[in-house]
Amino acid sequence: MGKRLKIVFVLPDMAGGGTERVVSLLANTYVNRGHAVAILSFAGTQQAYALDARIETLSAGGPSGGSFRVRLQRLRFMREYFRKNPDCYIFSFSTIGTGFIVLSTLFHKRRMLVSERSDPSAYDQKLYRDFFYGFADCLVCQTEEAIRCFPKHLQKKVRVIGNPVDASLPARFVGERSKRIVTAGRLEEVKNHRMLIEAFALFAQDFPEYTLELYGSGSLEGQLKRLAGQKGLEERVVFHGFCSDVKERIRDCSMFVLSSDYEGISNAMLEALAMGIPVIATDCPVGGCRTYIQDGDNGLLVPVGDTVKMAEAMKRLASDKKLAQRLSVHAEKVREAYSMDKIADQMLEAAGAAG
């Protein structure tokens, strides 16, 4: 290892989402390499993922609810922290947080990498984002397609870095897979679980022995449960909520399905691939799924919002064991291509902290 660094991750909180999962993996990796690591949350105190005890965790406050006073307190907290840590490398994993970082370090030296975690074209405050992203030393995007969503002056700062695969993931299951179709993610509109349940209703007519299991929580849980009931599937659509051991629970399932309307890169999908679970995913903007999935080789891609195509893909996998086996074997190869150490190195290089 080279010199010992101080790396500070900034994000709203450490709730159970994909961004938080990546931050936890990177933070644990860096602290194990001997670096000093901190996670600074500015809108909450949740901590859904296991963190090494050596990682410093700080909160600049809770949700602001639009309060100017709360936001000012955040800025004061962050300004004091960065004043005491002038040589740190700041890794911002939040668009709003990037603005707070810039304002709290005005007239101070800063080294900041910003990581864009979603579909940039779907963000509704582009002027705010592009202005504050302009202060970053490097902007990390997850796909080549995402780069085109930014103005030219920001494109010059972009590095494309994929998501890391956790080395501790369970090994690929070998044997007769359980007749379960699973998905994992927030129960929110962007994930389009409604379409998934409707596709499963079509699928279930021909494959009555299968169940659909949803891991994750969110504001649409009640609506989705009612939809399952309306389809006569209340006994076959199971809602598990957020589970920290979801990987162990799903490793022997028949298929993992991602139904999102748009997505940066789904960590749940990536981990399913790495575990060798046959995967079906919508080919959604900004190209995160097709970055990892070669259709028909290591997974299946379907058009966004196409219930019929999704159901057909599910039927195809359920009825063709040779296809499912081939997808499983080939999918596992993402473990090496996107290993934790490779992605951690690339992030440091992008921040100008390698060496």
Q: What domains appear along the chain, each with residue ranges and CATH number?
A: 6-164+339-351 (3.40.50.2000), 178-337 (3.40.50.2000)
pLDDT digits (tens, 9 = 90+) for 16-69: 778 999 999 999 999 999 999 999 999 988 888 899 999 999 999 888 888 999
* Residues with Cβ within 8 Å of residue 111, at least 6 apart in sequence: 88, 89, 90, 137, 351, 352, 353
3-state helix, strand, coil in the chain (%, to 5): 40, 20, 40
Task: Transcribe 76-128 into DSSP letters.
Answer: HHHHHHHHH-TTPEEEE--HHHHHHHHHHTTTS--EEEEE--S-GGG-S-HHH
pLDDT of residue 234: 94
Question: What's the whole-model pTM score?
Answer: 0.84
Question: Does the pLDDT at position 79 exceed 90?
Answer: yes
pLDDT of residue 45: 86
Distance CA 266, CA 254 (A): 19
CA angle 213, 218, 221 (to 5 degrees): 55
CA angle 286, 182, 166 (to 5 degrees): 65
Distance CA 279, CA 290 (A): 12
pLDDT digits (tens, 9 = 90+) for 233-250: 999 999 999 888 999 999
pLDDT digits (tens, 9 = 90+) for 337-350: 999 999 999 999 99
pLDDT of residue 275: 97
For the segment 113-133, the average pLDDT, to the nearest whole number, is: 93
